[in-house]
Amino acid sequence: MAARARGTARRIVIWSRRPETRLALQKQPWCDATADTPEEAVRHATLVVLAAPVEKIIELARQIAPALPAGAIVTDVGSVKGELTRACHAAMPATAFFVGSHPMAGSQKTGWENASADLFDKRVCFVTPLADTAATHAKATETVARFWRDLGSEVSTVTPDEHDEIVAHISHLPQAIATSLCSFLAQKNPAWRNFSGNGLRDTTRIAASDATMWIEIFQQNRDEVLRALSRFQDELQGLHAAIANRDWPEVRTRLDRGKTYRDAFRP
């Protein structure tokens, strides 16, 4: 949708798992054609974007590999990059290139009905070439970066492993916390949700996200997520101790540090 709105792609061919989705997409002005199989969808492609839960992205890369035309560039939108990038790169034929991406954009909703052409506008998009393919994949990396910039994103190029450490902290940890907070409150007293102001709403929107997608993210980024969760538990323990000890200067230090961090977010 964004590619059509910004004139980035000449012809957009979509494969989607459900036949009824493919039928609905055929009526959309941003979809030139649908394909009945992933192989058929990529047969004449110059750029392929795999948009699926992370385990499925690896399966799809293996499935389309024999059908890719020479010179094709494959990217994805998965939230974990280390294992996925190595597996997708290994699946490619010698004449095609895999360079991973991760646009930091989305919502708690799923399905094409919730798509929007400005989703990527002014959002960061990670592009994550493997260090040992930097030279052979330089042109493909630039093409993928240009694709995201054309959609309005600001590209940040990092290695897949650096990416996984960063997003464990700034994306996967927030999901774990929002989920845990809602899970905790659901057991404490679900009816209390009716008293909530914007505080609870603002901190928990992403708890409504798709469980299947997040299980696969936690599985693939397990080590980094566990490290981030442990460090965060230390932070919570620190606040718990400061309140228990009536150490209000320490509580203030933490509130001030949190506010300074939050106030400096880009609009």
Ligand X SMILES: O=C(O)C(=O)C[C@]1(C(=O)O)C=C[C@@H](O)C=C1
Residues making contact with ligand X (CB under 6 A): 79, 104-108, 171, 206
Judged by beta carbon, residue 107 or residue 233, the one nearer ligand X is 107
DSSP string, 199-258: HHHHHHGGGGS-HHHHHHHHHHTHHHHHHHHHHHHHHHHHHHHHHHTT-HHHHHHHHHHH
Q: Are 111 and 51 in contact (CB under 8 A)?
A: no
Could you tell me the smallest distance in angstroms from the CB atom of residue 249 to ligand X?
Answer: 33
Distance of alpha carbon 226 from alpha carbon 173, whole angstroms: 9
Judged by beta carbon, residue 133 or residue 156, the one nearer ligand X is 156
Judged by beta carbon, residue 102 or residue 137, the one nearer ligand X is 102
Residues 6+ apart with CB under 8 A from 44: 13, 69
Selection from 203, 171, 167, 210 nearest residue 184 by Cα: 203
In 15-159, which residue ranges form alpha helices assigned H by DSSP?
19-26, 38-42, 54-64, 82-91, 138-150
Residue nearest to ligand X (CB): 106
Judged by beta carbon, residue 35 or residue 181, the one nearer ligand X is 181
Distance of alpha carbon 223 from alpha carbon 253, whole angstroms: 30
Judged by beta carbon, residue 42 or residue 213, the one nearer ligand X is 213
Neighbours of 234 (CB within 10 A): 8
Using a 10 angstrom Cβ sphere, with 0-12 exposed, 13-18 middle and 19 or more buried, the burial of residue 1 is middle
Could you tell me the smallest distance in angstroms from the CB atom of residue 182 to ligand X?
Answer: 14
Judged by beta carbon, residue 107 or residue 219, the one nearer ligand X is 107
Could you tell me the smallest distance in angstroms from the CB atom of residue 82 to ligand X?
Answer: 14
Judged by beta carbon, residue 96 or residue 224, the one nearer ligand X is 224
Could you tell me the smallest distance in angstroms from the CB atom of residue 167 to ligand X?
Answer: 7
Judged by beta carbon, residue 108 or residue 203, the one nearer ligand X is 108
Which amino acid is located at 247 in the chain? D
In 151-221, which residue ranges form alpha helices assigned H by DSSP?
160-167, 173-188, 198-204, 211-220
Could you tell me the smallest distance in angstroms from the CB atom of residue 118 to ligand X?
Answer: 14
Could you tell me the smallest distance in angstroms from the CB atom of residue 151 to ligand X?
Answer: 15
Could you tell me the smallest distance in angstroms from the CB atom of residue 109 to ligand X?
Answer: 8
Could you tell me the smallest distance in angstroms from the CB atom of residue 36 to ligand X?
Answer: 28
State whether residue 75 is helix, strand or coil: strand
